[in-house]
Structure 1
Amino acid sequence: MNLRSLILALIVALMMALVGCASKNHAPDQTPPVLVSEDTWRQVDWDIVTASLTAKGSAKDYARSSMANWRDLAYQRTEADFIPWFTGYWTQQWLTLKVAWYKVSTGKETDPAKRMANYLQEQYHNRVLDPVAKQIDPGAVMEQTTKLYIQLLGTQLQGIAPRYGVPLDQLDRRFKDIPAIELAPPPNRNASLYQIIHIDPVVKLPAYVALVNQIRNTPSGAGAGPSDASISSVAQRTSEKLEATLPTRGVAGAVAAAVGRVAGTMISLAVSGFGAIAHEKERSEMVEQLRVILSAALDDERRNLMDNPTAGVMAGVYHLSGHIEGSLIKTFTPSVELEPIPQDLPPPGEQPLQDNKSDEQAPSDDGKATE
């Protein structure tokens, strides 16, 4: 009897254990997945757009401050180096010879002012922009601004899941469907919102590297310096002024004779066209004109570097935010454009209600309201 009771107890215990295991295996199936409503997703999308706008504003403030410092350093360097060099007596003599040589060596097909512009552009880079770039490089500002936008955006997006009770796996799928970089082909030049905020550091993302390289290699991109038009203006005035100082006769012969001689002979030839005394009298005016031209050129360049959507310091931010915001704003457009259904539509089979105007207010044939 005791043996039977023991066996029965063991059988009952074994069955209960099996039932318990079965219950544990089916436990996950008893928890239904969280269903996120369309209204909630619209709120999530709107919060993503808001986060992007906020991050973009902060990134722009950083870029604006950096480029203001860049402009100040470039102006100081222009005043301390380029203007004294350009307006110096011996520099003017050397430029006089260059203009004369351009005229006799290039013919009519090449404008001497254009060649002078290229020379002055090179000098401006060597004396001003390259030294300033060692402290503030517009290309580096562009990258730092883009990374700041990504960092701030990722931080703000972390609050969406707890705010609306959206499961992280569903929110991540949402992020993966939102484009952030689109430069394909090849496909790895594209990246989603999920990728740019989760890959750390972002430079490991091929699409990000491709975006930065594209911006840097764009003509007149970040760090290119004052536009050719500004330098060409200086070059044009320089060429005209220096051409006027050349002797009216025998210019071509004098320059041709100077070819192959030592530099001292060439300089002595130039001195005959432009004396030191005359130069000093005109130098102050030359300095002031050059200061105005280059100051305006630096202001224009700073604005261009800030506002250019494809080559400026905000180009990376504009590319990312443009795709993120653009893809989400489309989801709001239908709900904004749909007109409400008229409330006075009659049920099927009934006549529509007449206008609110009474018979007394109906216009008569002569256009006047009848009473």
Structure 2
Amino acid sequence: MNPRVALVVLCLLLALSGCASKRPPAPPPPAVLSAAMWQQIDQELIEASVGATGSANDYARRSMRVWKEQVQQRTESDFIPWFTGYWTQQWLTMKVAWYKMNSGNGADPPEKRLALYLQEQYHDRVIEPVAEQINPEAIRDRASELYLQLFGQQLPAIIQRYNAPPDQISQRLNRVPAIALGPPDARNATLYQLLRAKPLNEQPAWLALRQHLNQQAAKLASKTQVGLSSVATRASEKLGATLAPRGIASAVAAAVGKAAGALISVAATGIGMMTHDREHPQMVEQLRVILNVALNEEWKELMENRQSGAMAGVYYLSGQVEDSLLSKDAQSQAPAPASSRGEPASTGLSLIRDEAGAANLKPWP
């Protein structure tokens, strides 16, 4: 073999063997964090919560706008034509007559009974069909889930930035109460428990929070129902006035189906239709204005009410988390290294409890 060729081959073999012997540098061991550094980490966790809240709010606002648009469309296409139709007005006149005849002996006044009837119709014709596609309760649940998801996505970057021991991060999150609705204990959960829960919908404290928010929402009067009450009051007064020419007795007879009052004369019907056609545009516009005002107020309540609105779950969780991280007690208690508890640093902690109640804490993430 040519000496030069042999020399080149030898150099290549030496170079390859040198590359093969090189290994990637081992990652640095986790840092020992001071109390001041833990305070900085807590501050970053608070900022992570604030950022997740803002993104969840964007989602909730966009989704609630879609809900409002669908409610408005359904109101225009179904409820308003139904309510302002001639034969509906005749039927409502009969109902008001019947309510007036039976308004004594502690019975609710006619306008209140009519309001309840209109609320049922609005719910059946508008709210329920829209809810099959989108509804505020589902938006509230999804916004809460999104808050936890986005919060958890920021944790790896925080751990890397401080080279923090993952097991100590797990401990820290496990000392942050996210849901506190107990007793019993099952209605309480730490931030770590919620972030680790899979699926979230089977976590007892999460279900307790949803139940709590639903109860809060049920306590608040619906703005749309208030608007319909206004419509019912005006309608009751107007429809009641139309009873005078016909006589209350015959109107009631028509309402219960008796032959004596079941048919309105052809002349009376013709006059009634002419009057209705003349007043119909104004009636439609008045109803549209009342319902739009009520819906705008309802939407504002659903977006801004911190106890029951679309962001209520997010506000509850973020409030619990941020208040805990801001507390002086939390800031003064840095998690202890695993070695100081006589445990291998690699095992860390996890919040999955076994049947005996012993805590198994896994390191984050």
On whether the aligned pair clears a TM of 0.5, the verdict is: yes
Aligned to 2:257, which of 261, 265, 277?
Answer: 261
AA matched with 1:327: S
**Which sits farther off after the overlay, 293-302 or 226-235?**
226-235
Q: Point out where structure 1 has 5 or more consecutive residues left out of the alignment.
A: 1-31, 336-371
Instruction: Indicate the percent of aligned positions where both proteins have the same amino acid.
Output: 48
**Which sits farther off after the overlay, 212-221 or 279-288?**
212-221
**Residues 201 and 53 of structure 1, relative CA distance in 2, 3 Å threshold:** same
Q: Point out where structure 2 has 5 or more consecutive residues left out of the alignment.
A: 1-28, 333-365
The equivalent residue for 1:156 is 154
The equivalent residue for 1:237 is 234
Tell me whether 1:98 sits opposite 2:95 in the alignment: yes
The equivalent residue for 1:278 is 275
Residues 137-177 of structure 1 show CA distances to partners (whole Å, capped at 9, x for unaligned) of: 21111111111111001101222222112211111111111
Residues 281-332 of structure 1 show CA distances to partners (whole Å, capped at 9, x for unaligned) of: 1110000001111111111111111111121111111110010011122239
The equivalent residue for 2:12 is none
Aligned to 1:36, what secondary structure does the other structure show? Answer: coil
Could you say which structure has the larger radius of gyration? 1
**2-side partners of 1:39 and 1:318: how far apart?**
28
For residues 1-371 of structure 1, the aligned pairs below 5 Å read 35-107=32-104, 109=106, 110-220=108-218, 226-247=223-244, 250-251=247-248, 253-258=249-254, 260-262=256-258, 265-266=261-262, 268=264, 272=268, 275-331=272-328
Aligned to 2:102, what secondary structure does the other structure show? Answer: helix
The equivalent residue for 1:9 is none
CA contact (8 A) 1:96 1:270 kept: no
**2-side partners of 1:69 and 1:316: how far apart?**
20
| Relative contact order higher in (CA < 8 Å, ≥ 6 apart) | 2
State the TM-score, normalizing by the size of structure 1: 0.75
Aligned to 1:180, what secondary structure does the other structure show? Answer: strand
Aligned to 2:327, what secondary structure does the other structure show? Answer: helix
CA contact (8 A) 2:30 2:165 kept: no
**2-side partners of 1:87 and 1:126: how far apart?**
17
CA contact (8 A) 2:197 2:203 kept: yes
CA contact (8 A) 1:94 1:267 kept: no
State the TM-score, normalizing by the size of structure 2: 0.76
**2-side partners of 1:219 and 1:269: how far apart?**
49
Residues 221-250 of structure 1 show CA distances to partners (whole Å, capped at 9, x for unaligned) of: 89x964321111111111111111111684
| 1:213 CA drift (Å) | 2.2
Kindly tell me the number of residue pairs found equivalent between the two proteins.
302
**1-side partners of 2:272 and 2:118: how far apart?**
23
CA contact (8 A) 1:97 1:270 kept: no
**1-side partners of 2:155 and 2:259: how far apart?**
67
